Structure 1
Amino acid sequence: MSPRQNTVLGLGLGLAAAGAATAAGVAAERVTKTRRRALLTLTPEGLYDHKPDKELVVVATDGVPLHVEVDEPDPAAAHPDHPTIVFSHGYTLSLKAWVLQRRALVQAGYRVVLWDQRSHGQSERGSRDSCTIEQLGRDLHSVISEVVPEGRLVLVGHSMGGMTVMALADQFPDLIRERVIAAAFVATSAGGRNMVTLGFGQFLGRALGRLGPRLLDQLGTRQEWLNSVRHLGRDLEDFIVERWSFASPVSPAAVRYTGDMIFRTPFTVMSDFLPSIDLHDKRDALAQFHGIETLVVNGTQDLLTPPDHSEEIVRLVPGAEHVVINEAGHIIMLEHPEVVTGLLLSLVERGLRAADEGVRVERKPRVRRTLTDVAKRRKVARARGRGRHEAP
């Protein structure tokens, strides 16, 4: 491989894993093979395989087919007044990002609906002009109209998915007011600022944001070649995924699972969405969630949507509960799955109570909690202890 090709490959992997337009010029000590073997114990039971009860296609307003999956609860656990929980994933990810939460929620008796946002996962590509947060809001409305035409709703959005939920509220406020009993904004932002900083600060981040679409388009012309040689840069790929996705040890399976979602997103798709993400501003739309049970979650070390983005959402939604998770990065639902799942289950229960008892949610005092995933810390300590014991 020529020096020029090596440069292009390294740049491409960095751009993709960061979930935006930046090249990763990084140097760091790699975890040892022994430690990687030890961290296998952090892999969730059943890995990440999941078979939905139903798969279908919903056609968006502009004709783009959207992939949707539905999980139905056991009739013995289901309740007629239970809401349907609709998940929206983040930029460069897919509905697979929610695999651990969907399992737990359906087991708790809830119907779960997930979808791949346009140009992501198994959904079809949209035109460049259609790759906007506003269109994603219309897409989510199409999914709800066809798959959940009636009944109570809980909306959960991560990163760009949270922005999609805000765009839905902006364009279809009656749906929010009449049917949504709870909403969760996970590692996301209401915007109103330069969004593409990637942990590099406003000055460098703004420059990267301007250059990103052009660089990604150039990489898109070499997409097939880059895909064919991905295995040659696997160590770099894994390092970058860990750097921008997580802030605590995760299993190699989690890194690979996340990396596969990210790197299967074409560079041109990343380029298509960046301008709309960078200009995103849905602060006014958050008024539609006044009186609705709302959860805002972020990680203390999220490089893509830092904690101050979540604090702005909480400021604009009276009564919102704000949970900050220590040692957590951007892909928080795969990094601390039990914590996130527990928070969502509690949110749904609060939403049901508020709806049934007429609780004035907006009058609740602001609640801000900082959590540490103690159970995971213990697992990591045991894994590292075994790794040291097995080391030659």
Structure 2
Amino acid sequence: MATDPPPLTLPSMDGSPPPGSRTVTTDDGVDLHVEVDGPDNAPVTVVLCHGFTARLAEWDLQRAVLRDRVRLVLWDHRGHGRSGWTPLRRATIDRTGRDLAQVLDAVVPTGPVVLAGHSMGGMSIMALARQRPELFGTRVVGAFLLATSAGGLVDTGLAGFVVKVARRLGLLALYLWLLQLLAPRMDRLPWRGRFLGRRLIRRLLFGRDDADRHSVRLVQQLLEATPLPVTMAFYATFVDHDETAALPVLSRVPVTVVAAQYDRLTPAEHGRRIAEAVGPGADLVVVPGAGHSVNLTRRAVVDRAFLDLLDRIEDGSRKAG
């Protein structure tokens, strides 16, 4: 009888980067940390894009399943993980889409690519589809979108109202400047590892029955490793995030959308809208009982959905050949 793999343990970011690491420097001078895994002669490369305030280690469970079948490229968003600090005015989804394009150009210059993104990683893929539509159906042959949204996340509520007013009054730039000024002091504050943070993470990132103690502490480690000013700067981009116009571009390739029933950050309805807009080429998987961290807590379902997508892409390639 098959058993689940052991719980994920985060690798330390102390010391030298692991073997297979590379640095891609963006056109605005940010060094992005990239890791390459799996066979170099694999027929397809899968590029894994992590979520907001996480790092590429959040994909380690799927990495273990995929590395014998495909070549893997994983990268840390600007300001996250081992990647360099970002100017806070450039902490946007539009910019992470451009960063993804530059990772592709530098590390996967040829051959078919499948893009996979969790949360903000999925949004970065949609931004890339808007910015570089010529890649989809030619270089990009599939997409795996996990617990993500094409827009409308903060249409209402106090946070959205405050950021919209600040932008309209020209105060958003002042806010980002103050964050930059206060950044060193803010990150010295003893806010990491606290009980209240754990409670908030438990509520926002987990479902009704998938929040075991190990997983909650693991996600807390992931999220709190990102510098607090970077976290606060990226919040503004979610207010006006809208990549619905990019979804027809994704319809050129097979897509799998995975949504979690009790996801409070990117509700399941957002996944349904993406799948509906993409059309017949989209498979929608809604995971009962799960929350936003579904790739860590319901890994068997997520792994199966990912492998099924690769099978669909291979079948389509054989028929086309």
| TM-score normalised per structure 2 | 0.86
Please name the residue that 1:363 is paired with.
none
Does residue 60 in structure 1 map to residue 32 in structure 2?
A: no
Does residue 267 in structure 1 map to residue 233 in structure 2?
A: no
Cα deviation digits, residues 252-301 of structure 1 (max 9, x gap): 33222211111122221122222222111111111111231100111010
Please name the residue that 1:300 is paired with.
261
Does residue 346 in structure 1 map to residue 300 in structure 2?
A: no
Give the letter aligned to residue 263 of structure 1: E
Does residue 326 in structure 1 map to residue 288 in structure 2?
A: yes
Give the letter aligned to residue 318 of structure 2: D
Summarize the alignment of residues 8-19 of structure 1 with structure 2, pairs less than 5 Å apart: none
Please name the residue that 2:90 is paired with.
130
Give the letter aligned to residue 35 of structure 2: E
Equivalent-residue separation in structure 2 for 1:290 and 1:43 (angstroms) = 34
SS of equivalent to 2:115: strand
Equivalent-residue separation in structure 2 for 1:114 and 1:211 (angstroms) = 36
Summarize the alignment of residues 65-214 of structure 1 with structure 2, pairs less than 5 Å apart: 65-73=31-39, 80=41, 82-107=43-68, 109-191=69-151, 193=152, 195-196=153-154, 202-204=156-158, 206-207=160-161
- Change in Cα spacing, 1:81 to 1:260, as seen in structure 2 (3 Å) is closer
Equivalent-residue separation in structure 1 for 2:8 and 2:223 (angstroms) = 22
Please state how far the C-alpha of 1:219 moved relative to its aligned partner: 8.1
SS of equivalent to 1:93: coil
Please state how far the C-alpha of 1:225 moved relative to its aligned partner: 3.7
Please state how far the C-alpha of 1:211 moved relative to its aligned partner: 9.2
Equivalent-residue separation in structure 2 for 1:332 and 1:52 (angstroms) = 26
The farther-off stretch of 252-261 and 110-119 is 252-261
The structure that is helix-richer by fraction is 1
Q: 8 Å contact 1:297–1:322 — kept in the other structure? A: yes
Cα deviation digits, residues 340-365 of structure 1 (max 9, x gap): 11110110110121133139xxxxxx
Equivalent-residue separation in structure 1 for 2:191 and 2:133 (angstroms) = 47
Identity %: 37
Equivalent-residue separation in structure 2 for 1:134 and 1:230 (angstroms) = 29
Give the letter aligned to residue 144 of structure 1: L
Please name the residue that 2:169 is paired with.
none
Q: 8 Å contact 1:81–1:152 — kept in the other structure? A: no
Equivalent-residue separation in structure 1 for 2:187 and 2:289 (angstroms) = 36
Q: 8 Å contact 1:95–1:115 — kept in the other structure? A: yes
Q: 8 Å contact 1:87–1:98 — kept in the other structure? A: yes
- Note the aligned Cα RMSD (angstroms): 2.8
Does residue 44 in structure 1 map to residue 6 in structure 2?
A: yes
Please state how far the C-alpha of 1:229 moved relative to its aligned partner: 5.5
What runs of 5+ residues in structure 1 fail to find an aligned partner?
1-40, 360-392
- Change in Cα spacing, 1:88 to 1:230, as seen in structure 2 (3 Å) is closer
- Change in Cα spacing, 1:313 to 1:211, as seen in structure 2 (3 Å) is same
Please state how far the C-alpha of 1:183 moved relative to its aligned partner: 0.4
Q: 8 Å contact 2:136–2:252 — kept in the other structure? A: no
| TM-score normalised per structure 1 | 0.71
Give the letter aligned to residue 123 of structure 1: S
Cα deviation digits, residues 62-85 of structure 1 (max 9, x gap): 111000011123xxxx8x562110
Please state how far the C-alpha of 1:249 moved relative to its aligned partner: 3.4
